[in-house]
Amino acid sequence: MIRAEPVLDGPVFKAREKLATTVCLNDVEAAKRVARLIADEIVGNNAKNRPTVLGLATGNTPIGVYRELIRLHREEGLDFSRVITFNLDEYYPIRSDSMHSYHRWMWENFFDHVNIASDNVHIPDGTVPDNEVGIYCRAYEEDIKSAGGIDIQLLGIGRTGHIGFNEPGSSRDSMTRMITLDPVTRRDAAADFFGEDNVPRRAITMGVATILQARRVILMAFGEQKAPIIQRAVEGEVTDAVAASFLQEHPCAEVWVDCAAAEKLTRMACPWLLGDVEWTPRMQQKAVIWLSLKTGKSILKLDHDDYDLHHLSALVRQAGPVDMLNQRVFRRLLDTIIQHGSLPTGISVLCFSPHPDDDVISMGGTLTRLARRGNEVFVAYMTSGNIAVTDEHALQMIKFWTDLNHSFELDSEKSTTVLREVRRFLESKTPGEADSLQVQRVKSLIRQTEALAACRHMGIPEDHAHFLELPFYKTGQVRKLPITDADIDIVFNLIREIRPKWIFVAGELSDPHGTHRLCAEAIMAALKRCSLDEHPEIVWLYRGAWQEWEPDEIDMAIPLSKGELTNKIFGIFKHQSQKDKALFPGPFDDREFWQRAEARNTETAAVYNKLGLPEYHAMEAFVRYQQL
């Protein structure tokens, strides 16, 4: 989502931040700016005929930086011939050619695309004999010193606050070493390894002291799931419980985040506690809702003392008196509640669902209502979701199809052959290995049939379900390709064909393997191509199974009765391959998707009730997309 309010960047608003923090509108902007900083360092050192030593990280966070550096190399001639690199960490034990190794990841995503000398690349070796790891780690430290020390160290941050693999409890003086991974870290990595059981329990990592010896440190974080730990690392105390907090002691450490990862910083969450703010209608609403929830009083019961005691006197002076301010915010929130009869009728509606179940999980109640109101409701399933089907479920379903064919004397020979080939592959499959194309197709069909069943349940005709199978997803792995014109063309052509008045887009960033983010990127790029006649009247953003919008962000809330919520849950049940225990539930929540949806929808209604608004059983919430 693009913020409607500007990012507050003055010194007064950074008063609680103990690390220099730059908040960008999105991860793309942050990646480009950080890549430019690195490029400037390389260019400057090349001009002095000296090497540039970079400390590098892996994963979804820095990949945008690497892609921009590759572009600068190809289009602007950025020369990497004198660059020396040292990677932060590597799983142990792991072969360098494993699809999960950081060694392979770095070459596929960066080194193979620039003119860096292979001898200048240093990545911890996951195959060193166990009894030689200590000697190896000391040698790694010596190699860094021999190179002249690290000029720029690039970091991500884990939910435990780890930098590299320096888990909670890591000492400020720790150097490169073997560590045991925290259970939270292993759960976070489970999606990459197709299950937590396949994640190595140990890793080799640079130490905290190793990182702090770099001349400049840049930590990056994107997405609302990183907001709590960013707040602790930037505004909290220095503690070994959050290894990233040690960066506060570095003379040249900085943090680069998008708005979502910054949302719990004081200047973003409640900036009026720090200084004078511009009291726009949105800021007024944010402050009044915050005050209501802080005091435990409904909006219309807030009084002058509440505002004075919570540093909101300036708001009253500008937007008061108190009673009128309360009523204005209350009415605005009341207007977000869209009753059954207030929804449009007779229009075309298109919901983009990144995976085959995001539509019903996130807005199944709303889609059902829109369909019952006589609207033409379409759903575009952007990816197959095949990697989220377990091998056991695939075997179960193909056995059923084979037995069905045999029972009706259909082409049982071919189906038996397919079953034999699929079973042979799955039985010889190594942990985390990508599926064969044949298995991927089987799993894709499973997800499609489930999605069609859910559409029927919501009253959406089967021929209104479009399975786009965007190319970026077709890797057979958790890690995906970047969005290209091929993806954008598919989305654009569908919009032009349907000409929807309303479009719904997954607007959250907490999806554990980034598919929601990439799908949103493709949709927004497609919308920019649309003419005025082709462009929808409204683009609504919904959130998926991981989080809900904050009450001050919500522009449309659809109330659901207990029966409607139950009906939605039954729609979620149509996705049997994701039932009981989904393969990729995300690292933040062990509950099933239907349980999360139920809790999220009822909690949204409960917050509205706390604010003094009408009480409903549940609510689905949406934000209207605004492009700055």
Partner residues linked to 254 by β-bridges: 20, 218
**414 has pLDDT over 60:** yes
- Taking the C-alpha atoms of residue 160 and residue 179, their distance in angstroms, rounded to an integer, is 15
Task: Indicate the pLDDT class of residue 534, thresholds 50, 70 and 90.
Answer: very high
Q: What is the pLDDT of residue 198?
A: 85
Six-digit token string for 361? 């999980």
Give the pLDDT band (50/70/90) at residue 26: confident
How does pLDDT run across 489-528, given as a tens digit for each residue? 999 999 999 999 999 999 875 554 578 888 999 999 999 9
Q: Percentage of residues in the chain with pLDDT exceeding 90? A: 76
Judge whether 11-267 and 344-388+443-624 match in fold: yes
DSSP for 550-593, written as a single string: -TTT-SEEEEE-HHHHHHHHHHHHT-GGGSSS-S---TT--S-H
Q: Which two tokens stand for residue 131?
A: 């009894």
Compare 433 and 237 and report the one with higher pLDDT: 237
Residue 324 pLDDT level (bands cut at 50, 70, 90): very high
More confident residue, 427 or 513: 427
Q: Report pLDDT digits (tens) over 30-48.
A: 999 999 999 999 999 999 9
Selecting among 17, 90, 141, 167, the annotated active-site residue is: 167
Q: Where exactly are the structural domains of the chain?
A: 11-267, 278-336, 344-388+443-624
Q: What is the pLDDT of residue 584?
A: 56
Report the residue count for the chain: 628
Tell me the C-alpha to C-alpha distance, in Å, between residue 343 and each of 347, 369, 421.
10, 8, 50
Domain 11-267: give its CATH code.
3.40.50.1360
Single out the residue of 75, 59, 85, 68 nearest to residue 34, CA to CA. 68
Give the per-residue pLDDT at 245. Answer: 98
| Contacts of 197 by beta carbon, 8 Å cutoff, 6+ apart | 431
What are the backbone dihedrals phi and psi of residue 224, each rounded to the nearest 5 degrees, phi first? -65, -20
Residue 171 has pLDDT above 70, yes or no: yes
- Told to judge if 196 belongs to the known catalytic residues of this protein, a careful annotator would answer no
CATH number of 344-388+443-624: 3.40.50.10320
Residue 600: phi and psi, rounded to 5, are -65, -45
Distance, CA of 9 to CA of 278 (rounded, Å): 13
Residue 236 pLDDT exceeds 70: yes
Which band of pLDDT confidence, cut at 50, 70 and 90, is reported for residue 580?
confident
Residue 573 CB contacts under 8 Å (≥ 6 apart), including other chains: 579, 594
pLDDT at position 307 is 98
Going by C-beta distance under 8 Å and a sequence separation of 6 or more, which residues neighbour residue 627?
2, 524
Q: How far is CA 256 from CA 37, 404, 406, in A?
A: 12, 56, 60
How large is the average pLDDT for residues 344-356?
A: 97
Q: What's the pLDDT score for residue 588?
A: 55
- Mean of pLDDT values over 208-234: 96
Per-residue pLDDT, 1 = 43
User: Lowest mean pLDDT: which of 22-26, 110-114, 205-209, 291-295?
Assistant: 22-26
Contact assessment for residue 439 and residue 428, using Cβ atoms and an 8 Å cutoff? no
pLDDT at 136 over 80: yes
Query: What integer pLDDT is reported at residue 87 of this predicted model?
Result: 98
In angstroms, rounded to a whole number, what is the distance separating the alpha carbons of residues 189 and 84?
28
pLDDT reported for residue 345: 96
367-385 pLDDT, tens digit each: 999 999 999 999 999 999 9
Confidence of residue 626 (pLDDT cuts 50, 70, 90): confident
Which comes out higher in pLDDT, residue 517 or 627? 517
Q: What is the mean pLDDT of the chain?
A: 92
pLDDT at 3: 47
Give percent of the chain above pLDDT 70: 95
Query: Does pLDDT of 589 surpass 70?
Result: no
69 versus 628: the higher-pLDDT residue is: 69
pLDDT the model gives residue 127? 97
Decide which of 10 and 203 is more confident. 203
Confidence class for position 481, pLDDT limits 50, 70, 90: confident
How far, in Å, CA of 3 to CA of 7, rounded? 8
Q: Which residues contact 467 (CB under 8 A, 6 or more apart)?
A: 381, 384, 448, 451
The reported pLDDT for the residue numbered 2 is 46
Q: Is pLDDT at 186 greater than 90 in this prediction?
A: no
pLDDT per residue over 67-123, tens digit each? 999 999 999 999 999 999 999 999 999 999 998 899 999 999 999 999 999 999 999
Global pTM reads 0.88
pLDDT tens readout for residues 273-321: 999 999 999 999 999 999 999 999 999 999 999 999 999 999 999 998 9
Q: What is the mean pLDDT of residues 458-478?
A: 89
So what's the pLDDT on residue 4? 52
pLDDT number for residue 44: 98
